[in-house]
Structure 1
Amino acid sequence: MKKHIVILILSVLSVSAKAQERLSLKQCIDYGLKHHRSTLVYRNNQEAARYQSKEALAAYLPNVNLNGSIDDNLIVQQSVIPAGIFGPTDLKVAFTKKFNSNVVAQVDQTIFDQSLITGLKANKVAQQQAQLNGEQNDETIIYNISNAYYQIFVYRQQLTLLQSNRETYQQQLNISKLQLEKGVAMESDVNKIQVNYNNTSSQILAAESDLELAQNQLKNAMGYSLTDSLQIQNFELDEPAADQTQISFRDFASFNAANRIDYRLAEVNIALLDIDQARIRATSLPKLTAYARYGYIGFGDRLGESISGFSDYSAIGIKLAIPIFDGFKRNSQYNQARIKQVNARENLKLDQENFHLEYDNARTKLIKAQSSLDMDKRNIGLAESVFKSTDLQYQKGVTDLTDWLNSQYSLKEAQSNYLNSLYNFLIAKIDLEKANGTLKTFHTSL
């Protein structure tokens, strides 16, 4: 029985080791949103904003203080009773003793302070600001992961094409070497093919290095350990339909800057500035505070007497503070806040125009990138057809090696253009999502 259990465990471990899950783009983003360290930072900021609101509320709650003191009057202060009251000469009298002890507890309660009431309105707005900052960080994570993921996809495509080209050069190199041995080919022809083979091998090494760097970049964007292995899926390129260009033009009218978190953060900033203006204005209003005090006081020529001879006292009262003149300090603060608020509104209008321009440019780039990708994809087909025809003619001796190498070079150039167009198309797609403020929608739709 134990033997069967051990075999079962080893089998499970073997299968799990060989079949590491390959992550899709959506799974990579899900992992990044959960594990990237910046997510914890912004979550902590939201928690700090909640505590900050509690701190602001505390100013309108009862404030209780307990204070105690013991004074050792090294030289007891004396007061003078003028002559004629208790005698014909001035009389010096001490109204305290060497040691004084005092313990007092006091409760203060704000009854009315309009500036505090106005300031409390900022608590909800500040929490909204912290939440939007967190959402903006999520969008940054989504964008960075998508960018790195697409780079890996393109580098894999590049490696596949380069390896295919190297195999072609290898096959032709083998044939040319045999022809050289038989005396039907020149050594210079073999060397030309060898040079192209070596160049392609170098390009493969560079592409492998780029792929490794892109994988590390993806791990970093995900908050994934650089030392752990990460396997990702290949995905089918979702190329737009032929009529999608017209759809893009129609959808342009529906662009809404309010979808951008940058725009909503600017609106929140304006709301905070509005509240700050009202708070400063409210500091000109009277403030009413109630208090209750209870304490013990003791006097004595020795320390023990001042402590053992306590007598209690208490008081309740109301304090009214009416601001009269502060040297125009409040007026200056209010005007500064007013100017900041006006500038913030003007900057929001500028941002709205810039966001619209950014979306328009991103949409145009996507349309052009789509056209370039379609053209370069068709061009690869033409280049492959030309190379196959030239290769067949070369094998039959109808054409020479120069034409064969030229057609192979044209194919490589078409492949390079296609890879550039492919990367530009993928990045243009994610840039359009970013400009439209729909990166989270893009993530959920994967």
Structure 2
Amino acid sequence: MHCRLFLFTFVLLSGITRAYGQTDTAQQGPFAFNLANCIQYGLAHQNDVVNARLDINFSREQIKEATGKLLPHADVNASFTDNLKLATSLIPDLTNPTSGVRIPVQFGTRYASSVTGQVNQTIFNSDYFLGLKAAKVYGGLAERTYKRTEIDTRVAITKAYYAVLANEENIRLSKANMEQLEKTLKDTKARYDVGVAERVDVDRIQVSYNNVVTDIETQIRLLVYTTQLLKFQMGMPQEAKLDLTESVQDLNVESFIADTVDYQVQDRVEYGIQTTQIALNQLNLKSKKMAYLPSLNGFVNYGWNYFSANFGDLYKTGFGASALGLTLAWPIFTGTERLHQIRQNKITLEKSENDLSYLSQQIKLEVTNANTQYLNNKSRFVTQKTNMGLTQGIYDRIVLKFEQGVASSLDVISAESELKQAQVDYVQALLNTLISKTDLDKAMGKIK
């Protein structure tokens, strides 16, 4: 009877398991956590969250890098030349200019050296200024991406946490069944020993008892796995001991309220990410348009030049030189390449704006679907909880009649089987309700 719940739980867990790594920590527990503690621990240790925080730091460094391009840049250049053979030039014979004779002469010295320091300052460059704005927008994108990672981590931890509680509840109910069957089995054996009951009654109840014991062993192994999955989603070492301080009774599922009236699509972090992407595309378009503007840079330098026919005398005398100036670069015409790039960026911007409109509709549909699933699951949960109570009462009355000799062992086995199925349906409906409520909160942007 419990196989359906086991299969359902494994399918569910495979759906919520994400490719999360774990950040090692020296703390090995024991930990006694409720849901809030688990989430808090996960936001501090979960690998994806840690990396998302590093991405924010990375984006901040990129902003500083973009700012650094606007600061003065200084460099020093030095050179040394050994003219092994000076170049020869032909000049007219100045003593007899009309002779047409050219005299070979060599200019310069064998050794030459220079040292020059120069400071450059960007006065106007559209790419630099827009790059600074883009870096700040990218920093906002990194922060929103971090927030989305936080939300995904909260959801994954919450679902894994609920799976553990559901398994603990399943074990609790099964142990209660085992205790009831154990008492019935002992009473039946005692009645058999005095000749009141038949051997077939003992064997039938023994079979049911054995099945319950095996079910509990299976459920305990599944509980170990779901607890390991929870620790994995939290970034907690598998060797750490984790105990949960809550049970499904503490959740008060019946009091959950789903309010889908006041939510706004802007509450979803994905909406903010898309608006940031639009801002980046707008900056890319503006950058291509402003590329037609000139760039202006200023510079100042100072240096020394050294000349000598002998290497030993090269640096005895230096000749200073300095310059101050501006450089202007203006791309007047670069073919039609830039024009087509501008048109491409306009198309990209229009697509991103369309994506934002589509995302709004998608969020609304997700909320409608999540709300439908939640209401259906909650209704089923209330029904299954009532049915489980009714089935428990039927089982208790059948056992009492069996002890009084007015019901058969088949009646007991049938009632016990119906009770187990009702408990399976209850736990499954409980877990479905908890998971769908989490999905609804995420769809409405209530998980921050």
TM-score (norm 2): 0.87
Match of 2:205 in 1: 193
Match for residue 239 of structure 1?
A: 253
Check the 8 A contact 1:292/1:315 in 2, yes or no: yes
Counterpart-to-counterpart distance in 2, 1:123 and 1:390: 74
CA distance in 2, matches of 1:261, 1:91: 83
Residue deviations 1:49-87 (CA, integer Å, cap 9, x gap)? 111111112222211111112123344333443678967
SS in structure 2 at match of 1:439: coil
Counterparts of residues 158-169 of structure 1 (less than 5 Å)? 158-169=170-181
Bigger mean CA offset, 103-112 vs 72-81: 72-81
How far the C-alpha of 1:20 sits from its partner, in A, is 6.4
**1:116 offset after TM fit, Å?**
2.1
Matches within 5 A, 1:63-74: 63-74=73-84
CA distance in 1, matches of 2:203, 2:336: 88
Query: Which of 330, 333, 340 is residue 341 of structure 2 equivalent to?
Result: 333
| Alpha-carbon contact 1:150-1:423 (below 8 Å) kept | yes
Deviates more, 1:342-351 or 1:29-38: 29-38
* 1:112-261 pair list within 5 angstroms: 112-235=124-247, 236-241=250-255, 244=257, 248=258, 251-261=259-269
- Within the candidate set 300, 304, 316, 2:308 is matched to 300
The residue number in structure 1 matching 2:12 is none
Shifted more, 190-199 versus 286-295: the winner is: 190-199
Secondary structure of the 2:393 match is helix
Paired residue secondary structure (2:253): coil
Distance 1:403 1:83, change over 3 A: farther
Pick the aligned partner of 1:280 from 278, 288, 302: 288
Q: 1:293 to 1:91 in 2, by over 3 A?
A: farther
CA offsets 1:320-364 (integer angstroms, 9 cap, x no match): 111022233322332332222111111121111111111111111
334 and 79 in structure 1: CA distance in 2 versus 1, 3 angstrom threshold: farther
Give the AA of the match of 1:99: Y
Are 1:23 and 2:33 matched, yes or no? Answer: yes
Match of 1:435 among 425, 443, 448: 443
What secondary structure is seen at the aligned counterpart in 1 of 2:293? coil
Distance 1:376 1:116 in 2: 65
Determine which structure has greater relative contact order: mean sequence separation of CA pairs < 8 Å that are 6+ residues apart, divided by chain length: 2
How does 1:277-426 map onto structure 2 within 5 Å? 277-426=285-434
Tell me the distance in 2 between the aligned counterparts of 1:410 and 1:291: 90
Contact 1:125-1:268 within 8 A present in 2 as well: yes
RMSD: 2.2
Instruction: Classify 1:177/1:102 alpha carbon distance in 2 versus 1 (closer, same or farther; 3 Å).
Output: same
**8 Å Cα contact 2:160-2:230 kept in structure 1:** yes
Q: Equivalents in 1 of 2:292, 2:348: separation in Å?
A: 20
**Does 2:65 match 1:55?**
yes
- The CA deviation at 1:146 is 1.0
Q: Matched residue of 1:397: which SS?
A: coil
CA–CA separation in structure 2 for the residues paired with 1:64 and 1:370: 69
Unaligned runs of 5+ in 2: 1-28
- Gap change, CA 1:72 and 1:194, over 3 Å in 2: farther
Are the counterparts in 2 of residues 119 and 276 from structure 1 also a CA contact under 8 Å?
Answer: no
Q: Relative to 1, partners in 2 of residues 1:123 and 1:409: Cα closer, same or farther, differing over 3 Å?
A: same
- Name the count of aligned residue pairs: 416
Shift of 1:405: 0.6
Residue type of the alignment partner of 1:39? V
Comparing 394-403 with 322-331, which one deviates more in the overlay? 322-331
Q: Which amino acid aligns with 1:271?
A: A
Report the CA distance shift for 1:260/1:304 in structure 2 as closer, same or farther (over 3 A). Answer: farther
